[in-house]
Amino acid sequence: MASNAVAQLDSSSFAEFINRPEPVLVDFWAPWCGPCRALGPTIDKLAAAHPGRVAKVNVDDAPEIASKFGIQSIPTVIVFQNGQPAEVMVGLRPEQAYADALAN
């Protein structure tokens, strides 16, 4: 994974990504979701500002992960710390809300 790229997680890479002491942000999305596509540039900016700490999960490709975390609406962004959800944001939010959650 390039240091400023958004990691694409699946069931084999998800647990390792979220089980870290520093906060990491995961965007649950799907390609057919308009608001998810609108959030894309914000996620890319966050990934550039926080290398290796931003990832996406396509809920169509990894429904088991979405189910485990109760994802019912997308986009849903969860900030994890030590494998646990620290903050959950459903729907579009201002860019600063995501940046603040990742910084805490």
Catalytic residues: 33, 36
The two tokens of residue 4 are: 């400023």
The two tokens of residue 68 are: 């485990």
Q: Are 71 and 28 in contact (CB under 8 A)?
A: yes
In 3D space, the residue among 31, 30, 23, 14 whose CA is nearest the CA of residue 104 turns out to be: 23
